[in-house]
């Protein structure tokens, strides 16, 4: 099956994935790859107009990588950072962090 979009990982997102146990990191990578091939909100879900989340559940843990679509490139999503989700809602601080990263990224890419 073809890939619907490309993914760019920020250094912070890469470091987060590297910090995970190997089996967990493998599951996160698998879910990101699968989300590129199928449209499934269990894997990639829109949170706000600008921010999306890659979703992984592994042995009771909820792992999230926040991301945004690059408006200057077709079918290109940028992962800002990752974290463990502990409540039903995404913490505002995590959303703010992703929005700040997006704004800085878009300023640099003009």
Report the alpha-carbon distance of residue 81 to residue 36 in Å, rounded: 18
pLDDT tens-place string over residues 83-110: 999 888 999 999 999 999 999 999 998 6
Report the alpha-carbon distance of residue 12 to residue 30 in Å, rounded: 19
Give me the architecture of the 6-108 domain, per CATH: 2-Layer Sandwich (3.30)
- Domain boundaries in the chain? 6-108
Query: In 68-81, which positions are buried (b, 16+ CB within 10 angstroms) versus exposed (e)?
Result: bbbeeeeeebbbbb
pLDDT tens-place string over residues 56-69: 999 999 999 999 99
């Amino acid at each position: 099956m073809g890939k619907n979009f490309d993914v760019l990982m920020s250094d912070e997102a890469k470091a987060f994935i590297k910090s995970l146990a190997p089996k967990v990191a493998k599951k996160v990578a698998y879910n990101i790859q699968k989300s590129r091939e199928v449209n499934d909100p269990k894997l990639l879900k829109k949170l706000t107009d600008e921010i999306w989340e890659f979703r992984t559940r592994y042995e009771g843990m909820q792992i999230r990588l926040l991301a945004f679509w690059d408006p200057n490139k077709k079918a290109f999503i940028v992962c800002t950072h990752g974290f463990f989700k502990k409540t039903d809602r995404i913490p505002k601080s995590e959303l703010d962090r992703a929005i700040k990263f997006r704004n800085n990224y878009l300023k640099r890419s003009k």
